[in-house]
Amino acid sequence: MNRVVRPVDEPLFIRITLESYCLRLRRRRRGDADDQRIPLGALEHLQAGFDAAGVEKRERCNLGTKCGSRNSLAYYEHMIESHSVGARRVCRRFALGVALALIACCGILFAQTPAQIESITVPLESIDTPMPHFWEQMFGSGRAVLSLRDSYRQDLRAVKAVTDFRYVRFHNIFHDEVGLLNFDTHGHPSYNFSYIDQIYDGLLENDIRPFVEIGFMPVGLSADRKDVVDFWYHPNRAPPKSYVMWDDLVRHFVAHLVERYGIREVSQWYFEVWNEPNIDFWGGKPQQSTYFELYDHTARDIKSVDHLLRVGGPATAQAAWVGDFLRHAYSKGIPVDFVSSHVYANDTAENVLGSREPIPRNRMVCRAAQKVRDEIARSQMHGVPFILSEFNASYTNEPDVTDGIYMGPWIADTVRQCAGVVDLLSYWTFSDVFEERGVVRTPFYGGFGLIAERGIPKPAYNAFALLHKLGERRVPIDSESALVTKRADGVLVIALWNYAPPDGTGNKYVRPPRTPEPSKRFMIRLEGTVPNASMKLWRLDADHGNVIKSFDDMGRPAFPSRAQIEELKIAARLPDPERTVLQNGATEVTVPSQGLVLIEVSP
C-alpha cells in the first residue's frame, strides 16, 4: 500500500508548538498553571522567528495593542491565526523553523518528553520513626442535618471501609432545622433532642465519633436575627443576645450527651467552639475579643458538666489567631485541650503568613501548619495537641483540582510534609452530600468530597485508599516524591508520586492537555531486603482509578442516567495490583504526570 503524505497545517502546527511550550513553562512555575505569560528569555526566540520571517515590527505592535502584551500567548496566537501577509509567510516558510528553534532553544518535543529520573536508596537497617495515620482519622462533611440522609451514611461507610475514619466534623448542630432550642410564648427555653439523638446515634452505629463544632446561633437566641452567612441554609452568625441563655443551652446540650452515651464515650469526643470566627462566620465586633468571650463561656460550660470533656479552638481560617488565643486563655485560666485551625492550599501567603512569598499549592497547607505549631511551641501551653480541622487543595469549587487525579500526588505530598507537624488532619469533606451553595447540579463540579453525588468515588477517594496501606513506621529517605514505611506484618510499603499543578483553575473545567507533563522514573534500591522479594503495585493516574476520564467520554452529562451512574462507579474503581519481583533488591517504576503509585514489598 502506498503511503499518502498529507501537507502539514502550518498555522495549527505553530499553535500546537506554542501551546505545548507555554503549558510547560507555566507548569514549571511554582504557582498554579493559570498564567499565560511567556518568560522573556523564551520570548526572544519567538520574536526572532517572526523577525526572520519578515513580519514587520509595526504590525506586531498593532497586534499587541489588540491582543495584549507581546509577552503573552494571545499575542502570538493572533499572529499565527491572522490573515496578514507576514503571518502567512511565517506559517508557510517558517513553521518548521520556529518549531525547531523552540526545540533547540527551549527543549520542546512533540513526542513524549523524556521521563525525569530519581534514584532512591532505602536503608532498611536505619532507625525508623513512628508514622501515625494522622491524615485519615477525621473528615469534615456537610451540615449536621444531612447526616440523617441515607446517601450521607452510605458515603460515610464507603470512606470508613478504606480509611481509619474515626471522627466527623460538621457545621450547624445548633441550627433551627435541628430543632434543639425552642421558646414558649413567655420566652422560656425548652430543648428537643430528637434530631440530636438521631444524628449522633447514626454516627456511633457506624463506629464514627463526633468532633462537635459548637454553632451556629439559634435564631431565637441571636442578638441579630438577620445576621446570617451567605449559605443556602443561612446559618446565623451573631453573638447570643444573652450569655445566661447561651450557658444554659450549652450545659443542657452537653449534659444530655453524657447522660445518653456515658462519660467514658463522650470524653473521647472533641468540642470545638464555633467555625472560622476571624472571617465572615462570626458577627461579633470586634471579632477577636467577642469570640474570646464566646469561647470562655462555652469552655467553662462544657467543663462544668465534666472535667474529662475536651474543648478547644479557635477554629480560625488561614491559621490565624492561635498565638493570641493561647495567650488569652493562659492569662484568664480558660481550659484549652487542643488547638484547631483551618487552611486551604489556595489561601494566599499574605493572608496566612503576612508575606508576599509565592507559595505553590502543594506547599501552603503544611507551611501554615508549621506556623501554628511554632506558635504553640512558643506559648505557655506548648504541649497542647494541634488539629487542622479543615484542609483541602481548594476552598472554592475547582473541577480540575478536587475532582481530578491531581489530588493523588497533592494528598500524598501533604502527608509527607505535615508528618510530625499536626496531630490530626481533617479533610474537608468526605462526601459531596453538601449544600452550602444549594442542591448539587451535576456530579463533578469541583465539590470538596471524596465521593461525588450518587456515591461515585473520585480519584481523591482512591488516593486515601492507597495511602491507608502505608505502615506505622517511617523509613528515612532523601526524596520529596516518596514515602517509605514499614507495617507491623513486616511488609515494606512505598508511595511514589509525580506532582504537577492542576490542568486548570477556577470553576470552569479544563480537559487534560494533549501533551502531558513528563513522567518520572524512580530507580529504587532496597538495602537489606530479600533480593527477589515479591511486590504488588497499585496505580492511580489518568488511566487507572480515574472516573473523570469516563465522565468526559460521556460528554459530562449534568444528570447521568442510572446506567451511566453504574458505569461511572465501575470506572472509578482502582484496578487490581500489578505483581512482580525485585531484581537483585532493586526495581524501576515509571509514574506519569499527576500519578500516584503504592508498592507493597513482602518480607
Give the H/E segment covering residue 162: helix 150-162
Pairing assessment for the beta strands 189-191 and 386-392 based on DSSP bridges: unpaired
Locate 34 and state its grid cell: 493559570
Residue 174 cell numbers, joined: 445548633
**How many angstroms separate the CA atoms of 163 and 403, rounded?**
19
**DSSP-based three-state secondary structure for 202:** helix
Q: Which helix (H) or strand (E) holds 391?
A: strand 386-392
For the beta carbon of residue 69, count every other beta carbon within 10 angstroms.
11
The contacts of residue 22 (CB under 8 Å, 6+ apart) are 36, 38, 73
Residues 6+ apart with CB under 8 A from 187: none
β 473-475/311-316 pair status? unpaired
Active-site annotation holder among 77, 390, 398, 600: 390
125 is catalytic: no
Q: Which of 136, 213, 272, 276 is catalytic?
A: 276
Q: How far is CA 104 from CA 99, 108, 128, 150, 564, in A?
A: 9, 8, 46, 59, 47
Q: For residue 483, which of 415, 385, 543 has the smallest C-alpha distance?
A: 415
Burial (Cβ within 10 Å: 0-12, 13-18, ≥19) of residue 113? middle
Q: Is 390 a catalytic residue?
A: yes
Q: In whole angstroms, what is the distance from residue 373 CA to residue 420 CA?
A: 10
What are phi and psi for residue 6, nearest 5 degrees? -95, 145
d(CA 199, CA 87): 67
CA-wise closest residue to 432 among 405, 413, 451: 451
What lies within 8 Å, CB to CB, of 579 at 6+ separation is 534, 535, 536, 537
Q: 553 vs 455, 567, 571, CA distance in Å?
A: 19, 12, 11
Report whether 213 contacts 270 (CB < 8 A): no
Sequence length of the chain is: 603
DSSP code of residue 594: T
Helix (H/G/I), strand (E/B), else coil: 195 = helix
**From start to end of 37-104, where are the E strands?**
none
**Is the dihedral angle over the CA atoms 302, 303, 305, 308 positive or is it negative?**
positive
Residues 203/147, Cβ–Cβ less than 8 Å: yes
Give alpha helix (H) positions in 321-406. Answer: 322-332, 349-353, 364-378, 399-402
Axis crossing angle, helix 150-162 with helix 459-467, rounded to the nearest 10: 40
Q: Which residues of 120-135 are buried (b: 16+ CB within 10 A; e: fewer)?
A: bebeeeeebeebebbb
Residue located via cell numbers 485551625: 341
- Assigned C-alpha cell, 203: 454516627
Residue in 459, 450, 407 with CA at minimum distance from that of residue 430? 450
Could you give the CA distance from residue 207 to residue 130 in angstroms, rounded to a whole number? 25
Terminal alpha carbon distance of the chain:
55
Positions marked active-site = 276, 390
